[in-house]
Amino acid sequence: MSELTTTSILSLFDTTKAQRQSFCADIVSRLENGEADPLKIHLQIKSAEDLIKQLNDNRFYKEYLLEAATKNGKSFEFGNAKFDIKEVGVKYDFVNCGDPILIELQAKLDELTKQVKDRQTFLKTVPYEGMTIIIEETGEAVTLYPPSKSSTTSVSVTLK
Q: Which pLDDT score is estimated for 1?
A: 59
Counting other chains too, the contacts that 8-17 makes at CB distance below 8 Å and 24 or more residues apart are 14/79, 14/80, 15/80, 16/80, 17/80
At 78, give phi and psi (nearest 5°).
Answer: -145, 125
3-class SS of residue 105: helix
Residue 145 has pLDDT above 80, yes or no: yes
At 75, give phi and psi (nearest 5°).
Answer: -145, 130
Distance CA 149, CA 154 (A): 16
Mean pLDDT of the chain: 95
Greater model confidence, 125 or 13: 125
Predicted confidence (pLDDT) per residue in 98-118, tens digit: 999 999 999 999 999 999 999
Task: Give the distance between the most distant pair of CA atoms in the chain.
Answer: 85
Residue 155 has pLDDT above 80, yes or no: yes
Domain extents in the chain:
6-84, 95-144
Predicted model pTM: 0.71
Q: Which pLDDT score is estimated for 3?
A: 83
